Structure 1
């Protein structure tokens, strides 16, 4: 499965967060698209509208399990996708900003 390290992501790289709503509200990467894994198939069109046509979709969850499943689905659909290794835990540990719904500092739950 294609995987990317948090440290290899540049500002502005497309990020898809597949965590549930409560996790998202507590803290997420600014600018990420949020589609919970539990709603992903039904809301797939939102991804196709938002994702860059020529860029990679970097999929993230809390630790990497759910995002790995979504990444595999996307790859099967022909999408250039990669699982973010270590998820939001690795994101926060790398010092990347985590914000809540109001743009204030958030936390990974």
Structure 2
């Protein structure tokens, strides 16, 4: 997706430092991970589909960065690097959904009767 980019070159934020609401959040995990549990209001585009679906981000507010999340921070770092190289203002969320859950941020899932979880 992108060439070699130093982790120091990718803007990163800890979950605890994110605003509590009104965040433009992009989840780049796979469909099964998303269904198990995700942040309410996030946009879901799996990493492998991002180049062909990037236009969907045009619906997000353009007065703030796109915060990118995955399970632990690796895929979202790659997505943020690609987005930044493509002209977007993107920030990787350190620790991904594992950190999101650890900070007790709200989660919802698509599996009826199951508590949201991070796969």
When normalised by structure 1's length, the TM-score is: 0.93
Larger-Rg structure: 2
- Where do 5+ consecutive residues of structure 1 fail to align? none
Residue 54 of structure 1 deviates from its aligned partner by 1.4
Give me the TM-score of the superposition, normalised by structure 2.
Answer: 0.85
2:106 to 85, 97, 103: 97
- Calculate the aligned-residue CA RMSD, in Å: 1.5
Query: Gaps (5+ residues) in structure 2?
Result: 1-9
Report the Cα distance in structure 2 between the residues aligned to 1:93 and 1:7, rounded to whole angstroms: 10
Give 1:44's match in structure 2, choosing from 54, 61, 69.
54
Aligned length: 108
Runs of 4+ in 1 over 6 A off after TM superposition: none
Counterpart of 1:88 (choices 97, 108, 112) is 97
Q: Is the 8 A contact 1:71 1:82 kept in 2?
A: yes
Contact 1:56–1:81 (Cα < 8 Å) also in 2? yes
Q: Confirm or deny: 8 A CA contact 1:98 1:105 kept in the other structure.
A: no
